[in-house]
Amino acid sequence: MSKLRFDVVSLFPEAFKNFFNHGLIKKAFEEKIASIHIHNPRDHAIDNYRKVDDEPYGGGAGMVLKPEPYFSVFDQIPKLNKKRILLMTPQGRKISQSDFSRWSKEDQLILICGSYEGFDERIRSLADEEISIGDFVLTGGEIPAITVINGVVRLLPGTLGSPESLEDESHNEFLLEHPQYTRPSEFKGMKVPDVLLSGNHKLIKEWRQKQREIRTQSRRPDLFELWKLDQLSFDKRSSLLKTEVSLRIGNGYDMHRLVPGRPLILGGVKLNHPEGLGLDGHSDADVLTHAIMDAILGALSLGDIGKYFPPDDPKWKNADSLILLEQVMELIEKKGWQIQNIDSVIVAERPKLKPYIDLMKEKISKKIGVDIDDVGVKATTNEKLGAEGREEGICCHAVVLMKRNENK
């Protein structure tokens, strides 16, 4: 039994006849390292004209491949347990050498080739992966399928005489292959590098590695950058990525008791409680603003609001919490950070907060320098449970996402 079975669904089976009758690929099929089976959807057409395409719904140019022949031919293909189903389409992900390596470990690859204007969208549901060989459009999927078969078969054990020949190939480990030379040692004034004639295997290995790096940097700088990153230790790689993606998340919470004779202020907005209650605290006891400040400071590991505005400091007696928020913003801006967005939820039985939420968002957004849509304020009750449900107090939870200021 072959080590890898290829099943190709194609309207043009003859396209595959000559490609695999030469060289190492022919040898691999003859020695049953791999096998190939071509299936024509036209043999499964449901009308007398063996029609496999039709005009697209909604109008438009070209013809679209019908789903019935493709599902029918797919259903009759024997399926092995370890398989991948690949759809050839210019809309697919562009493949690389690593894909060939991954697919070479399967027992079966089913390749579905398109043609004409494209597939009926439902045909896509058959595939595990949609793949492309480049950012261009061909007349059909046969050439991409041939490319996949060739790239995979040559990696199968037994196809190449020397497995070592695969180790230094282009695109392995992100580097292109080094220059190769053979006899004569000089041709039309062009000489083979002396190091290759030296017999010093250590120097030859070093030269080849250096040439791979030089060639990759010159011809494929994108691969060279990936190779450089791959050479870093895990810690250095993590550190590099950390500097490139600088985000912090903070979580804040605050709660104050409801008492008579105090104002009820949330998000800088003064509200009226049906029982005339307000929040008790050293400042104005604005739990929404306090929770947001707590989240901001926490995101940068700067402690809590009590560290900066002590409850026993007369300076902050009945202070406007939005003024305190301004000072917190000055602190984080000096450290090179800014707010991305905030989300919060106030837990209170009464009063109804919905009429005031937009005004709260407006006041907070102005103080922290973001759009009003970047400030989330929600309100909920506690279903008469706990201190909030008994109207002993009001609490607020807040979450903030911060990013490093690139202008700093």
Q: Verify that 211 and 140 share a domain, yes or no.
A: no
Co-location of 93 and 144 in the same domain? yes
222: Cβ contacts below 8 Å, ≥ 6 apart: none
Please state whether beta strands 375-380 and 337-347 pair in parallel, antiparallel, or not at all (unpaired): parallel
> For residue 10, what pLDDT is reported?
97
What sign results for the dihedral spanned by CA atoms 114, 119, 121, 123?
negative
The predicted structure's pLDDT at residue 170: 53
Establish if 102 belongs to a structural domain: yes
In a domain, 195, yes or no: yes
Residues in the chain: 408
Give residue 317's pLDDT.
Answer: 95
Tokens of 175: 């580097």
Report if residue 301 sits inside a domain: yes
Same domain, 224 and 334: no
Per the domain annotation, does 332 fall within a domain?
A: yes
Task: Tell me the CATH number at 198.
Answer: 1.10.1270.20
Task: Give residue 196's domain range.
Answer: 167-182+191-234
Give average pLDDT by consecutive 10-residue segment, the chain, 408 residues: 89 91 90 96 90 91 92 97 95 93 96 87 94 93 97 93 58 81 94 95 95 93 88 68 73 97 97 96 97 96 93 93 96 93 97 96 96 97 95 98 82
Q: CA nearest 14: which of 134, 151, 146?
A: 146
Do 11 and 149 have their domain in common?
yes
For 4-31, the pLDDT digits (tens) are 999 999 999 999 988 888 889 999 999 9
Same domain, 381 and 348: yes
Q: For the chain, how many structural domains are there in total? A: 3
My answer on whether 210 and 356 are in the same domain is: no
pLDDT at position 313: 92
Question: Can you give the pLDDT at residue 293?
Answer: 97
Cα gap 105→87, rounded to integer Å:
18
Torsion region of 261: left, alpha or beta (phi above 0 gives left; psi -120 to 50 gives alpha): left
- CA distance readout (Å), 338 to 216, 401, 404: 39, 9, 6
Give me the pLDDT at residue 57, please.
Answer: 92
- Do 399 and 253 fall into the same domain? yes
pLDDT at site 226 = 87
pLDDT at 367: 96
- If asked whether residues 348 and 199 sit together in one domain, one would say no
Domain assignment of residue 158, yes or no: no
pLDDT of residue 83: 96
With respect to residue 240, please indicate whether it lies within any of the assigned structural domains.
no
Q: Is residue 270 part of a domain?
A: yes
Residues 280 and 315 in one domain: yes
Here the tokens at position 228 are: 């450089």
In a domain, 135, yes or no: yes
- Which residues neighbour 403 within 8 Å (Cβ) at sequence distance 6 or greater? 246, 247, 248, 337, 338, 340
pLDDT at residue 238, as a whole number: 61
Total H helices, total E strands in the chain: 13, 17
What CATH number did the domain enclosing 143 receive? Answer: 3.40.1280.10
Do residues 27 and 127 share a domain?
yes
Q: Based on the domain organization, do 219 and 277 belong to the same domain? A: no
Calculate the CA dihedral of residues 147, 150, 151, 157 and round it to 10 degrees. 170
Q: Taking the model in full, what pTM does it have?
A: 0.57
Residue closest to 403 by CA, chosen among 378, 374, 377, 376: 374
Examine the domain organization and report whether 137 and 23 are in the same domain: yes
